Structure 1
Protein backbone atom coordinates (compact mmCIF):
# COMPACT_ATOMS: atom_id res chain seq x y z
CA UNK A 1 0.00 0.00 0.00
CA UNK A 2 1.16 3.55 -0.77
CA UNK A 3 3.02 5.05 2.20
CA UNK A 4 0.96 8.22 1.75
CA UNK A 5 -2.34 6.42 2.36
CA UNK A 6 -4.25 8.40 4.98
CA UNK A 7 -7.06 7.31 7.25
CA UNK A 8 -9.00 8.60 10.20
CA UNK A 9 -12.26 9.49 11.87
CA UNK A 10 -14.30 12.61 11.11
CA UNK A 11 -17.28 13.86 13.15
CA UNK A 12 -20.16 15.70 11.50
CA UNK A 13 -21.59 18.25 13.94
CA UNK A 14 -24.28 20.88 13.55
CA UNK A 15 -27.75 21.99 14.43
CA UNK A 16 -30.52 19.51 13.62
CA UNK A 17 -31.48 19.42 9.94
CA UNK A 18 -28.42 21.19 8.46
CA UNK A 19 -27.70 18.29 6.08
CA UNK A 20 -25.23 16.09 7.95
CA UNK A 21 -26.81 12.82 6.82
CA UNK A 22 -27.22 14.10 3.25
CA UNK A 23 -23.51 15.00 3.09
CA UNK A 24 -22.33 11.67 4.49
CA UNK A 25 -24.61 9.68 2.18
CA UNK A 26 -23.36 11.69 -0.81
CA UNK A 27 -19.67 11.19 -0.03
CA UNK A 28 -20.11 7.51 0.86
CA UNK A 29 -22.18 7.00 -2.31
CA UNK A 30 -24.99 5.09 -0.62
CA UNK A 31 -27.68 5.74 1.95
CA UNK A 32 -26.30 4.75 5.37
CA UNK A 33 -28.05 7.49 7.39
CA UNK A 34 -31.71 8.36 7.15
CA UNK A 35 -32.80 11.74 5.86
CA UNK A 36 -35.85 13.74 6.87
CA UNK A 37 -36.96 17.36 7.05
CA UNK A 38 -37.79 16.81 10.74
CA UNK A 39 -35.14 17.70 13.38
CA UNK A 40 -33.30 15.05 15.40
CA UNK A 41 -33.57 12.42 12.70
CA UNK A 42 -30.19 10.90 13.59
CA UNK A 43 -30.20 9.19 16.97
CA UNK A 44 -27.15 6.95 16.86
CA UNK A 45 -23.59 7.58 15.78
CA UNK A 46 -23.64 6.23 12.25
CA UNK A 47 -20.32 5.33 10.71
CA UNK A 48 -20.10 5.87 6.97
CA UNK A 49 -16.92 4.81 5.17
CA UNK A 50 -15.42 6.50 2.10
CA UNK A 51 -12.45 4.71 0.55
CA UNK A 52 -10.29 5.86 -2.37
CA UNK A 53 -6.72 5.30 -3.58
CA UNK A 54 -5.63 8.23 -1.39
CA UNK A 55 -7.17 7.13 1.89
CA UNK A 56 -10.13 6.12 3.99
CA UNK A 57 -12.46 8.52 5.81
CA UNK A 58 -14.71 7.11 8.54
CA UNK A 59 -17.57 9.52 9.23
CA UNK A 60 -19.49 9.70 12.49
CA UNK A 61 -22.87 11.31 11.80
CA UNK A 62 -23.90 12.40 15.27
CA UNK A 63 -27.29 13.56 16.54
CA UNK A 64 -27.76 17.31 16.16
CA UNK A 65 -26.53 19.22 19.23
CA UNK A 66 -29.49 21.00 20.83
CA UNK A 67 -30.77 21.94 24.27
CA UNK A 68 -32.36 18.69 25.51
CA UNK A 69 -35.95 18.42 26.80
CA UNK A 70 -36.04 14.72 27.74
CA UNK A 71 -33.72 11.95 28.90
CA UNK A 72 -33.45 10.83 25.27
CA UNK A 73 -32.47 14.39 24.34
CA UNK A 74 -29.72 14.35 26.99
CA UNK A 75 -28.42 11.02 25.68
CA UNK A 76 -28.37 12.34 22.09
CA UNK A 77 -26.42 15.48 23.02
CA UNK A 78 -23.93 13.47 25.12
CA UNK A 79 -23.46 11.09 22.16
CA UNK A 80 -22.61 14.03 19.94
CA UNK A 81 -20.16 15.52 22.47
CA UNK A 82 -18.45 12.15 23.01
CA UNK A 83 -17.91 11.82 19.26
CA UNK A 84 -15.82 15.00 19.28
CA UNK A 85 -13.30 13.35 21.60
CA UNK A 86 -12.88 10.29 19.37
CA UNK A 87 -11.99 11.85 16.02
CA UNK A 88 -9.14 13.32 14.00
CA UNK A 89 -11.23 16.12 12.50
CA UNK A 90 -14.59 17.85 13.09
CA UNK A 91 -16.85 19.19 10.33
CA UNK A 92 -19.15 21.88 11.73
CA UNK A 93 -22.02 22.14 9.27
CA UNK A 94 -24.18 25.23 9.02
CA UNK A 95 -27.20 25.96 6.83
CA UNK A 96 -26.45 28.97 4.61
CA UNK A 97 -30.16 29.53 3.99
CA UNK A 98 -30.94 29.69 7.74
CA UNK A 99 -28.15 32.09 8.67
CA UNK A 100 -26.40 32.58 12.01
CA UNK A 101 -28.39 31.52 15.06
CA UNK A 102 -28.30 30.84 18.79
CA UNK A 103 -28.05 27.11 18.18
CA UNK A 104 -24.75 27.63 16.39
CA UNK A 105 -23.41 29.73 19.25
CA UNK A 106 -24.28 26.87 21.62
CA UNK A 107 -22.33 24.41 19.43
CA UNK A 108 -19.30 26.70 19.04
CA UNK A 109 -19.10 26.97 22.82
CA UNK A 110 -18.46 23.19 22.81
CA UNK A 111 -16.07 23.32 19.83
CA UNK A 112 -13.81 26.05 21.22
CA UNK A 113 -12.62 23.65 23.95
CA UNK A 114 -11.28 21.15 21.38
CA UNK A 115 -7.71 20.69 20.25
CA UNK A 116 -9.07 18.78 17.22
CA UNK A 117 -9.09 20.78 13.92
CA UNK A 118 -12.54 22.09 12.99
CA UNK A 119 -13.75 22.85 9.45
CA UNK A 120 -16.63 25.26 8.93
CA UNK A 121 -18.74 23.61 6.20
CA UNK A 122 -21.31 26.02 4.78
CA UNK A 123 -24.07 23.82 3.33
CA UNK A 124 -27.03 24.62 1.03
CA UNK A 125 -25.15 27.31 -0.91
CA UNK A 126 -27.46 26.56 -3.85
CA UNK A 127 -30.26 28.20 -1.85
CA UNK A 128 -28.63 31.61 -1.25
CA UNK A 129 -27.23 34.46 -3.37
CA UNK A 130 -23.39 34.36 -3.48
CA UNK A 131 -23.23 37.93 -2.10
CA UNK A 132 -24.68 36.67 1.19
CA UNK A 133 -22.01 34.01 1.74
CA UNK A 134 -18.94 36.07 2.69
CA UNK A 135 -20.72 38.19 5.36
CA UNK A 136 -22.22 34.97 6.79
CA UNK A 137 -18.80 33.25 6.91
CA UNK A 138 -17.29 36.32 8.60
CA UNK A 139 -19.91 36.08 11.36
CA UNK A 140 -18.70 32.60 12.23
CA UNK A 141 -15.00 33.40 11.82
CA UNK A 142 -15.40 36.24 14.31
CA UNK A 143 -16.57 33.71 16.90
CA UNK A 144 -13.81 31.09 16.56
CA UNK A 145 -10.87 30.00 14.43
CA UNK A 146 -11.50 27.32 11.80
CA UNK A 147 -8.84 25.19 10.13
CA UNK A 148 -10.72 25.50 6.79
CA UNK A 149 -13.93 27.06 5.48
CA UNK A 150 -15.65 25.07 2.71
CA UNK A 151 -18.92 26.16 1.04
CA UNK A 152 -20.87 23.19 -0.40
CA UNK A 153 -24.24 21.87 -1.46
CA UNK A 154 -24.52 18.31 -0.12
CA UNK A 155 -27.74 17.73 -2.04
CA UNK A 156 -26.40 18.94 -5.41
CA UNK A 157 -22.84 17.67 -4.82
CA UNK A 158 -21.30 21.14 -5.29
CA UNK A 159 -17.69 21.32 -4.01
CA UNK A 160 -17.94 18.02 -2.10
CA UNK A 161 -14.89 16.55 -3.89
CA UNK A 162 -12.86 19.58 -2.73
CA UNK A 163 -14.06 18.92 0.81
CA UNK A 164 -12.98 15.26 0.60
CA UNK A 165 -9.49 16.27 -0.63
CA UNK A 166 -9.11 18.76 2.24
CA UNK A 167 -10.25 16.19 4.80
CA UNK A 168 -7.60 13.73 3.60
CA UNK A 169 -4.89 16.37 3.97
CA UNK A 170 -5.73 16.68 7.67
CA UNK A 171 -5.85 12.95 8.40
CA UNK A 172 -2.73 11.08 9.54
CA UNK A 173 -1.03 8.37 7.50
CA UNK A 174 -2.69 5.16 8.57
CA UNK A 175 -4.15 1.77 7.73
CA UNK A 176 -7.29 0.82 5.87
CA UNK A 177 -9.71 0.10 8.72
CA UNK A 178 -12.48 -1.36 6.57
CA UNK A 179 -12.54 -3.34 3.29
CA UNK A 180 -12.79 -1.16 0.17
CA UNK A 181 -16.39 -2.19 -0.56
CA UNK A 182 -17.71 -1.57 2.97
CA UNK A 183 -19.69 1.66 3.44
CA UNK A 184 -20.82 1.31 7.07
CA UNK A 185 -19.98 -0.71 10.18
CA UNK A 186 -23.60 -1.05 11.27
CA UNK A 187 -25.23 -4.45 10.86
CA UNK A 188 -27.90 -4.80 8.19
CA UNK A 189 -30.59 -5.15 10.86
CA UNK A 190 -29.82 -1.66 12.20
CA UNK A 191 -29.96 -0.08 8.72
CA UNK A 192 -33.25 -1.87 7.97
CA UNK A 193 -34.74 -0.44 11.19
CA UNK A 194 -33.53 3.04 10.25
CA UNK A 195 -35.09 2.79 6.77
CA UNK A 196 -38.44 1.89 8.35
CA UNK A 197 -38.14 4.82 10.78
CA UNK A 198 -37.33 7.15 7.89
CA UNK A 199 -40.62 6.28 6.19
CA UNK A 200 -42.52 6.88 9.45
CA UNK A 201 -40.90 10.33 9.72
CA UNK A 202 -41.89 11.18 6.15
CA UNK A 203 -45.50 10.11 6.53
CA UNK A 204 -46.53 11.23 10.03
CA UNK A 205 -47.46 14.53 11.59
CA UNK A 206 -45.53 16.55 14.17
CA UNK A 207 -46.80 14.74 17.31
CA UNK A 208 -45.53 11.32 16.24
CA UNK A 209 -41.92 11.37 14.87
CA UNK A 210 -39.79 11.88 18.01
CA UNK A 211 -41.77 9.31 19.98
CA UNK A 212 -41.01 6.54 17.48
CA UNK A 213 -38.43 3.76 17.81
CA UNK A 214 -38.10 0.78 15.47
CA UNK A 215 -36.79 -2.61 16.57
CA UNK A 216 -36.14 -5.30 13.94
CA UNK A 217 -36.91 -8.47 15.86
CA UNK A 218 -35.87 -10.97 13.20
CA UNK A 219 -34.49 -11.26 9.66
CA UNK A 220 -34.48 -14.75 8.20
CA UNK A 221 -34.18 -16.16 4.70
CA UNK A 222 -36.99 -18.58 3.84
CA UNK A 223 -35.98 -22.16 3.17
CA UNK A 224 -35.61 -22.91 -0.55
CA UNK A 225 -36.46 -19.30 -1.43
CA UNK A 226 -34.72 -15.98 -2.14
CA UNK A 227 -37.26 -14.12 0.06
CA UNK A 228 -36.08 -12.66 3.39
CA UNK A 229 -38.73 -12.37 6.12
CA UNK A 230 -38.29 -9.19 8.17
CA UNK A 231 -40.33 -8.76 11.37
CA UNK A 232 -40.19 -5.30 12.96
CA UNK A 233 -42.02 -3.41 15.69
CA UNK A 234 -42.63 0.34 15.62
CA UNK A 235 -42.81 1.56 19.23
CA UNK A 236 -44.54 4.78 20.21
CA UNK A 237 -45.51 6.41 23.51
CA UNK A 238 -49.30 6.82 23.39
CA UNK A 239 -52.34 4.93 22.14
CA UNK A 240 -53.37 7.97 20.10
CA UNK A 241 -50.02 7.87 18.29
CA UNK A 242 -50.48 4.17 17.64
CA UNK A 243 -53.80 4.96 15.96
CA UNK A 244 -52.16 7.59 13.76
CA UNK A 245 -49.35 5.21 12.77
CA UNK A 246 -51.75 2.45 11.80
CA UNK A 247 -54.11 4.81 9.97
CA UNK A 248 -57.65 4.21 8.75
CA UNK A 249 -58.04 0.48 8.04
CA UNK A 250 -54.25 0.13 8.34
CA UNK A 251 -53.62 2.49 5.41
CA UNK A 252 -50.66 4.43 6.86
CA UNK A 253 -48.86 1.37 8.19
CA UNK A 254 -49.31 -0.30 4.81
CA UNK A 255 -47.78 2.73 3.07
CA UNK A 256 -44.83 2.75 5.49
CA UNK A 257 -44.32 -0.95 4.77
CA UNK A 258 -44.47 -0.57 0.99
CA UNK A 259 -41.98 2.32 0.87
CA UNK A 260 -39.61 0.70 3.38
CA UNK A 261 -39.72 -2.67 1.62
CA UNK A 262 -38.66 -1.08 -1.69
CA UNK A 263 -35.57 0.48 -0.07
CA UNK A 264 -34.71 -2.62 1.96
CA UNK A 265 -34.84 -4.74 -1.22
CA UNK A 266 -32.39 -2.30 -2.86
CA UNK A 267 -30.11 -2.51 0.20
CA UNK A 268 -30.12 -6.31 0.47
CA UNK A 269 -30.46 -7.10 -3.24
CA UNK A 270 -33.20 -9.63 -2.60
CA UNK A 271 -36.99 -9.84 -2.24
CA UNK A 272 -38.44 -8.96 1.17
CA UNK A 273 -41.56 -9.86 3.10
CA UNK A 274 -41.93 -7.07 5.68
CA UNK A 275 -44.16 -7.72 8.70
CA UNK A 276 -44.75 -4.51 10.69
CA UNK A 277 -46.44 -4.13 14.08
CA UNK A 278 -47.12 -1.02 16.17
CA UNK A 279 -46.85 -1.23 19.99
CA UNK A 280 -47.07 1.33 22.80
CA UNK A 281 -44.30 1.78 25.42
CA UNK A 282 -45.43 4.72 27.52
CA UNK A 283 -42.87 7.52 28.00
CA UNK A 284 -40.00 5.36 26.70
CA UNK A 285 -37.82 8.41 25.93
CA UNK A 286 -37.33 8.96 29.67
CA UNK A 287 -36.80 5.31 30.65
CA UNK A 288 -33.12 4.36 30.87
CA UNK A 289 -33.60 0.61 30.31
CA UNK A 290 -35.81 1.22 27.27
CA UNK A 291 -33.24 3.60 25.76
CA UNK A 292 -30.73 0.74 26.04
CA UNK A 293 -33.21 -1.79 24.66
CA UNK A 294 -33.94 0.41 21.66
CA UNK A 295 -30.22 0.91 20.92
CA UNK A 296 -29.70 4.52 22.06
CA UNK A 297 -27.21 3.63 24.80
CA UNK A 298 -24.14 1.53 24.12
CA UNK A 299 -22.19 2.60 27.25
CA UNK A 300 -18.88 2.31 25.42
Structure 2
Protein backbone atom coordinates (compact mmCIF):
# COMPACT_ATOMS: atom_id res chain seq x y z
CA UNK A 1 0.00 0.00 0.00
CA UNK A 2 1.35 3.50 -0.87
CA UNK A 3 2.40 5.61 2.09
CA UNK A 4 1.00 9.13 2.64
CA UNK A 5 4.54 10.44 2.00
CA UNK A 6 4.75 8.81 -1.44
CA UNK A 7 1.24 9.93 -2.30
CA UNK A 8 2.20 13.51 -1.50
CA UNK A 9 5.32 13.20 -3.67
CA UNK A 10 3.12 12.32 -6.65
CA UNK A 11 0.84 15.22 -6.00
CA UNK A 12 -2.03 13.73 -4.04
CA UNK A 13 -3.55 16.37 -1.80
CA UNK A 14 -4.69 16.13 1.82
CA UNK A 15 -8.36 15.86 0.85
CA UNK A 16 -7.67 12.94 -1.44
CA UNK A 17 -5.65 11.27 1.30
CA UNK A 18 -8.64 11.56 3.61
CA UNK A 19 -10.89 9.89 1.07
CA UNK A 20 -8.39 7.08 0.52
CA UNK A 21 -8.03 6.54 4.28
CA UNK A 22 -11.80 6.29 4.65
CA UNK A 23 -12.01 3.74 1.84
CA UNK A 24 -9.25 1.66 3.40
CA UNK A 25 -11.02 1.74 6.77
CA UNK A 26 -14.27 0.64 5.15
CA UNK A 27 -12.55 -2.27 3.39
CA UNK A 28 -10.94 -3.39 6.66
CA UNK A 29 -14.31 -3.25 8.44
CA UNK A 30 -16.03 -5.29 5.72
CA UNK A 31 -13.40 -8.01 5.76
CA UNK A 32 -13.37 -8.05 9.56
CA UNK A 33 -17.15 -8.63 9.56
CA UNK A 34 -16.91 -11.34 6.88
CA UNK A 35 -14.28 -13.13 8.94
CA UNK A 36 -16.57 -13.13 12.01
CA UNK A 37 -14.60 -10.48 13.86
CA UNK A 38 -15.76 -8.61 16.90
CA UNK A 39 -17.50 -6.01 14.76
CA UNK A 40 -19.70 -8.59 12.98
CA UNK A 41 -23.48 -8.23 13.24
CA UNK A 42 -25.32 -11.40 14.39
CA UNK A 43 -27.04 -13.14 11.50
CA UNK A 44 -28.58 -16.56 10.86
CA UNK A 45 -27.80 -18.09 7.48
CA UNK A 46 -28.75 -21.76 7.45
CA UNK A 47 -30.61 -24.36 9.51
CA UNK A 48 -29.65 -28.03 9.09
CA UNK A 49 -33.23 -29.30 8.89
CA UNK A 50 -36.67 -27.70 8.64
CA UNK A 51 -38.93 -30.66 9.49
CA UNK A 52 -39.22 -33.24 12.25
CA UNK A 53 -41.41 -35.30 14.57
CA UNK A 54 -44.23 -34.14 16.80
CA UNK A 55 -42.43 -35.27 19.96
CA UNK A 56 -39.31 -33.29 19.05
CA UNK A 57 -35.90 -34.13 20.45
CA UNK A 58 -33.98 -33.74 17.21
CA UNK A 59 -30.73 -31.79 17.29
CA UNK A 60 -30.42 -29.05 14.67
CA UNK A 61 -27.41 -26.97 13.64
CA UNK A 62 -27.66 -23.26 12.86
CA UNK A 63 -24.91 -21.37 11.03
CA UNK A 64 -24.38 -17.66 10.67
CA UNK A 65 -22.28 -14.79 11.89
CA UNK A 66 -21.54 -13.67 15.47
CA UNK A 67 -23.83 -16.32 16.93
CA UNK A 68 -22.03 -16.12 20.24
CA UNK A 69 -24.53 -13.34 21.03
CA UNK A 70 -27.45 -15.81 20.91
CA UNK A 71 -29.19 -16.50 24.22
CA UNK A 72 -32.08 -18.75 23.18
CA UNK A 73 -33.94 -20.28 20.24
CA UNK A 74 -37.69 -20.79 19.92
CA UNK A 75 -39.94 -22.84 17.66
CA UNK A 76 -43.33 -21.21 17.37
CA UNK A 77 -42.63 -19.45 20.65
CA UNK A 78 -41.61 -22.65 22.49
CA UNK A 79 -38.03 -22.62 23.76
CA UNK A 80 -35.54 -25.16 22.45
CA UNK A 81 -33.31 -26.88 24.98
CA UNK A 82 -29.57 -27.57 25.05
CA UNK A 83 -28.63 -24.47 23.06
CA UNK A 84 -24.85 -24.68 22.58
CA UNK A 85 -22.50 -22.42 20.61
CA UNK A 86 -19.54 -24.36 19.24
CA UNK A 87 -15.97 -23.08 18.85
CA UNK A 88 -16.47 -22.81 15.09
CA UNK A 89 -19.32 -20.36 15.61
CA UNK A 90 -22.16 -22.73 14.77
CA UNK A 91 -25.07 -23.26 17.15
CA UNK A 92 -26.87 -26.48 18.05
CA UNK A 93 -30.24 -26.81 19.76
CA UNK A 94 -32.72 -29.55 20.64
CA UNK A 95 -36.14 -29.13 19.03
CA UNK A 96 -39.05 -28.93 21.53
CA UNK A 97 -42.25 -30.96 21.02
CA UNK A 98 -45.01 -29.53 18.86
CA UNK A 99 -47.66 -27.72 20.89
CA UNK A 100 -50.10 -30.41 22.04
CA UNK A 101 -48.43 -32.78 19.55
CA UNK A 102 -50.40 -31.37 16.67
CA UNK A 103 -48.89 -31.06 13.14
CA UNK A 104 -48.00 -27.47 12.28
CA UNK A 105 -45.47 -25.22 10.59
CA UNK A 106 -43.92 -22.66 12.93
CA UNK A 107 -41.29 -19.93 12.80
CA UNK A 108 -37.78 -20.55 14.13
CA UNK A 109 -36.61 -17.48 16.03
CA UNK A 110 -33.00 -17.04 17.14
CA UNK A 111 -32.78 -14.49 19.93
CA UNK A 112 -30.02 -12.37 21.45
CA UNK A 113 -31.69 -11.49 24.75
CA UNK A 114 -34.86 -9.70 23.60
CA UNK A 115 -33.61 -8.94 20.08
CA UNK A 116 -34.47 -11.16 17.12
CA UNK A 117 -31.33 -12.13 15.21
CA UNK A 118 -31.96 -11.37 11.53
CA UNK A 119 -31.88 -14.25 9.04
CA UNK A 120 -30.82 -14.22 5.41
CA UNK A 121 -34.05 -16.09 4.57
CA UNK A 122 -37.34 -16.91 6.28
CA UNK A 123 -36.87 -19.81 8.72
CA UNK A 124 -39.69 -22.21 9.52
CA UNK A 125 -40.02 -25.73 10.89
CA UNK A 126 -42.70 -28.28 10.04
CA UNK A 127 -43.86 -30.75 12.69
CA UNK A 128 -45.13 -33.99 11.12
CA UNK A 129 -46.78 -37.11 12.59
CA UNK A 130 -44.13 -39.46 11.24
CA UNK A 131 -43.44 -41.97 14.04
CA UNK A 132 -45.59 -44.36 16.10
CA UNK A 133 -45.17 -42.18 19.19
CA UNK A 134 -46.20 -39.13 17.17
CA UNK A 135 -49.43 -40.84 16.18
CA UNK A 136 -50.12 -41.97 19.73
CA UNK A 137 -49.58 -38.52 21.24
CA UNK A 138 -51.42 -36.71 18.46
CA UNK A 139 -54.45 -38.91 19.16
CA UNK A 140 -54.28 -38.48 22.94
CA UNK A 141 -54.04 -34.69 22.87
CA UNK A 142 -56.83 -34.54 20.30
CA UNK A 143 -59.24 -36.71 22.33
CA UNK A 144 -58.39 -36.21 26.01
CA UNK A 145 -61.44 -33.96 26.27
CA UNK A 146 -63.29 -34.71 23.04
CA UNK A 147 -63.98 -38.44 23.46
CA UNK A 148 -63.86 -40.63 20.35
CA UNK A 149 -66.83 -42.60 21.66
CA UNK A 150 -68.34 -43.26 18.20
CA UNK A 151 -65.42 -45.59 17.50
CA UNK A 152 -64.43 -46.85 20.95
CA UNK A 153 -67.32 -46.07 23.28
CA UNK A 154 -67.16 -44.52 26.74
CA UNK A 155 -66.60 -46.86 29.70
CA UNK A 156 -67.10 -44.26 32.44
CA UNK A 157 -70.51 -45.74 33.17
CA UNK A 158 -68.96 -49.12 34.00
CA UNK A 159 -66.10 -48.02 36.21
CA UNK A 160 -63.99 -45.60 34.21
CA UNK A 161 -62.63 -44.86 30.75
CA UNK A 162 -58.93 -44.51 31.61
CA UNK A 163 -57.80 -47.93 30.36
CA UNK A 164 -60.04 -47.70 27.30
CA UNK A 165 -58.36 -44.39 26.36
CA UNK A 166 -54.84 -45.71 26.97
CA UNK A 167 -55.61 -48.78 24.85
CA UNK A 168 -56.87 -46.56 22.04
CA UNK A 169 -53.57 -44.69 22.10
CA UNK A 170 -51.55 -47.91 21.91
CA UNK A 171 -53.64 -48.97 18.93
CA UNK A 172 -52.77 -45.66 17.25
CA UNK A 173 -49.14 -46.34 18.10
CA UNK A 174 -49.28 -49.49 16.01
CA UNK A 175 -50.30 -52.24 18.43
CA UNK A 176 -52.84 -54.69 17.06
CA UNK A 177 -55.95 -56.11 18.72
CA UNK A 178 -55.70 -59.73 19.85
CA UNK A 179 -58.01 -62.33 21.34
CA UNK A 180 -57.09 -60.94 24.78
CA UNK A 181 -56.94 -57.21 24.00
CA UNK A 182 -59.77 -55.79 21.91
CA UNK A 183 -62.65 -53.33 21.63
CA UNK A 184 -65.15 -53.93 18.85
CA UNK A 185 -68.14 -51.89 17.70
CA UNK A 186 -67.73 -48.86 19.98
CA UNK A 187 -67.30 -50.96 23.13
CA UNK A 188 -70.23 -53.25 22.40
CA UNK A 189 -67.68 -56.04 22.76
CA UNK A 190 -64.47 -55.38 24.70
CA UNK A 191 -62.00 -57.41 26.74
CA UNK A 192 -61.03 -56.76 30.34
CA UNK A 193 -57.38 -56.32 29.28
CA UNK A 194 -58.50 -53.44 27.08
CA UNK A 195 -60.70 -51.53 29.50
CA UNK A 196 -59.94 -52.67 33.06
CA UNK A 197 -56.69 -51.54 34.75
CA UNK A 198 -55.85 -54.68 36.82
CA UNK A 199 -56.52 -56.90 33.80
CA UNK A 200 -54.42 -54.67 31.55
CA UNK A 201 -51.58 -54.89 34.09
CA UNK A 202 -51.79 -58.69 34.11
CA UNK A 203 -51.82 -58.74 30.30
CA UNK A 204 -48.72 -56.53 30.07
CA UNK A 205 -46.93 -58.79 32.56
CA UNK A 206 -47.92 -61.95 30.71
CA UNK A 207 -47.09 -60.71 27.21
CA UNK A 208 -43.33 -60.01 27.19
CA UNK A 209 -43.25 -60.00 23.40
CA UNK A 210 -44.82 -56.51 23.58
CA UNK A 211 -41.49 -55.32 24.95
CA UNK A 212 -42.99 -53.20 27.74
CA UNK A 213 -40.66 -52.79 30.75
CA UNK A 214 -41.82 -51.91 34.24
CA UNK A 215 -40.04 -48.99 35.96
CA UNK A 216 -40.46 -47.69 39.50
CA UNK A 217 -41.31 -44.08 40.31
CA UNK A 218 -37.62 -43.72 41.29
CA UNK A 219 -36.51 -44.47 37.73
CA UNK A 220 -37.86 -41.31 36.17
CA UNK A 221 -34.65 -40.67 34.27
CA UNK A 222 -35.62 -43.59 32.01
CA UNK A 223 -39.20 -42.44 31.37
CA UNK A 224 -40.18 -40.88 28.04
CA UNK A 225 -43.26 -39.40 26.39
CA UNK A 226 -45.71 -42.15 25.42
CA UNK A 227 -44.94 -44.42 28.39
CA UNK A 228 -47.71 -45.56 30.75
CA UNK A 229 -48.27 -44.68 34.41
CA UNK A 230 -50.27 -47.06 36.63
CA UNK A 231 -51.60 -46.03 40.06
CA UNK A 232 -52.63 -47.74 43.27
CA UNK A 233 -54.51 -44.95 45.03
CA UNK A 234 -54.67 -46.62 48.45
CA UNK A 235 -51.38 -48.57 48.41
CA UNK A 236 -53.33 -51.80 48.85
CA UNK A 237 -51.92 -53.77 45.89
CA UNK A 238 -55.03 -53.05 43.83
CA UNK A 239 -54.48 -50.90 40.73
CA UNK A 240 -57.01 -48.12 40.21
CA UNK A 241 -55.92 -45.90 37.34
CA UNK A 242 -53.70 -45.55 34.24
CA UNK A 243 -52.51 -42.59 32.14
CA UNK A 244 -49.90 -41.80 29.47
CA UNK A 245 -46.83 -39.63 29.93
CA UNK A 246 -47.29 -36.39 27.96
CA UNK A 247 -44.25 -34.44 29.18
CA UNK A 248 -40.85 -35.18 30.72
CA UNK A 249 -38.79 -32.19 31.81
CA UNK A 250 -35.66 -31.80 33.90
CA UNK A 251 -36.23 -28.76 36.10
CA UNK A 252 -33.30 -27.89 38.37
CA UNK A 253 -32.23 -31.52 38.48
CA UNK A 254 -35.71 -32.88 39.19
CA UNK A 255 -37.57 -34.96 36.59
CA UNK A 256 -41.07 -33.51 36.28
CA UNK A 257 -43.57 -35.94 34.73
CA UNK A 258 -46.96 -34.90 33.35
CA UNK A 259 -49.72 -37.11 32.00
CA UNK A 260 -52.72 -37.21 29.70
CA UNK A 261 -55.77 -39.37 30.34
CA UNK A 262 -59.44 -39.86 31.13
CA UNK A 263 -61.41 -40.08 34.37
CA UNK A 264 -59.94 -36.82 35.49
CA UNK A 265 -59.80 -35.64 31.91
CA UNK A 266 -56.42 -33.90 31.67
CA UNK A 267 -53.71 -33.19 29.12
CA UNK A 268 -50.79 -32.35 31.43
CA UNK A 269 -51.55 -33.68 34.89
CA UNK A 270 -48.59 -33.46 37.26
CA UNK A 271 -47.47 -36.83 38.64
CA UNK A 272 -46.19 -35.55 41.98
CA UNK A 273 -49.30 -33.50 42.63
CA UNK A 274 -51.39 -36.56 41.80
CA UNK A 275 -49.74 -38.76 44.46
CA UNK A 276 -49.37 -36.07 47.14
CA UNK A 277 -52.36 -33.73 46.80
CA UNK A 278 -55.02 -35.60 44.84
CA UNK A 279 -54.27 -39.03 46.36
CA UNK A 280 -51.84 -38.70 49.28
CA UNK A 281 -49.80 -41.86 49.78
CA UNK A 282 -50.66 -43.35 46.41
CA UNK A 283 -48.11 -45.66 44.80
CA UNK A 284 -47.57 -46.93 41.29
CA UNK A 285 -45.09 -47.52 38.51
CA UNK A 286 -44.37 -46.86 34.84
CA UNK A 287 -44.50 -49.11 31.82
CA UNK A 288 -41.78 -48.12 29.36
CA UNK A 289 -43.06 -48.76 25.82
CA UNK A 290 -40.48 -49.52 23.09
Does the TM-score normalized on the shorter chain lie above 0.5? no
Structure with a larger share of its residues in strand: 2
TM-score for the superposition, normalised by structure 2: 0.24
User: Could you say which structure has the greater relative contact order, defined with CA pairs below 8 angstroms and 6 or more residues apart?
Assistant: 1
Structure with a larger share of its residues in helix: 1
Which one has a bigger Cα radius of gyration?
A: 2
TM-score for the superposition, normalised by structure 1: 0.23
